[in-house]
Structure 1
Amino acid sequence: MSKADQLFVKMCTDILDHGTTTEGHKVRPRWEDGTPAYTIKNFGVTARYDLREEFPALTLRRTALKSAMDEILWIYQRKSNNIHDLKSHIWDEWADESGSIGKAYGYQIAQKSHYPEGDFDQMDRVLYDLTHTPYSRRIMTNMYTFADLSEMHLYPCAYSVTYNVTHAAGDERPTLNMVLMQRSQDILAANNWNVCQYAILLMMVAQSVGMVAGELLHVIVDAHIYDRHVDIVRELIARPQYPAPTVRLNPEVTSFYDFTTDDLIVENYQHGPQVKNIPIAV
Structure 2
Amino acid sequence: MEERKWEDLECDCLVNVLGRVGMESLLLDVPFVCKSWYKASLDPSCWKHLVFPKDLDSERDFTLLDRFKEKYKIENCSVDAFTKFVVGRSHGNCTGLFLPNGCTEEVAKYVADECPALTALLLPSDILRCESSIVPTLIGKWEHLENLWLGSSENLVNIITQISLACNKFSGLCVSSATIQEEEASAIVTNLPNIKYLILRGAWIDFEDLVIILQGCKNLVHLDVRDCLGFDFDDEKVLELASNIKTFKCEGSMLVDYDDGVIDHDDLVYEGYISS
The alignment's TM-score, normalised by the length of structure 2, stands at 0.25
The alignment's TM-score, normalised by the length of structure 1, stands at 0.24
Q: Which has the higher contact order (CA 8 A, sep 6+)?
A: 1
- Structure number with bigger Rg: 2
Answer 1 or 2: which has greater helix percent.
Answer: 2
